[in-house]
Amino acid sequence: MSVSEEIKRLHELNQAGALSDEEFARAKQKLLDTTPVSLSKDSGASDFASEFNRFRRSRSDRWLGGVCGGLGKVSGMESWIWRLVFTLFTICFGFGLVIYLLLWIFVPDES
């Protein structure tokens, strides 16, 4: 059900007397406060940029360069999943190792 449909339903309940004016106002405000705001292209791009700027190679969770540990911290996934992804991309497609090496070279170490 969309937000406009829910507001229309609340309005119908208010008109029928099932909701008082105060209850209608509170329910409408609660509905509008919990509705996610659609992101514009600019704010979505800035969110991506801020997440990318947070990406650092891990010092504590590393096997080789700390790339998978850093990806795990930024994405919220376990680092072993990223290790598995890079391994599978290397075995299946042949470019997982290249991406890992590029990230190792260009992503700074966490300080």
The residue among 73, 100, 102 whose CA lies nearest residue 84 is: 100
pTM listed for this prediction: 0.53
Contact predicate 64/79, CB 8 Å: no
- pLDDT tier at 1, thresholds 50, 70, 90: low
Q: Give the position of tokens 């208010």.
A: 14
- Distance between CA 68 and CA 78 in Å, rounded? 9
Q: What is the pLDDT of residue 42?
A: 52
Q: What does the pLDDT look like over 59-98, one tens digit per residue?
A: 887 788 888 888 888 888 888 999 899 899 899 988 888 8
Q: What does the pLDDT look like over 20-50, one tens digit per residue?
A: 888 888 888 887 777 555 444 555 556 666 6
Q: What is the pLDDT of residue 19?
A: 83
Long-range contact list for 66-73, CB < 8 A, 24+ apart? 66/104, 66/109, 66/110, 67/100, 67/103, 67/104, 67/107, 70/107, 70/110
Rg of the chain over Cα atoms, rounded to whole angstroms, equals 24
Q: Give the position of tokens 């997440």.
A: 51
- Distance between CA 79 and CA 77 in Å, rounded? 6
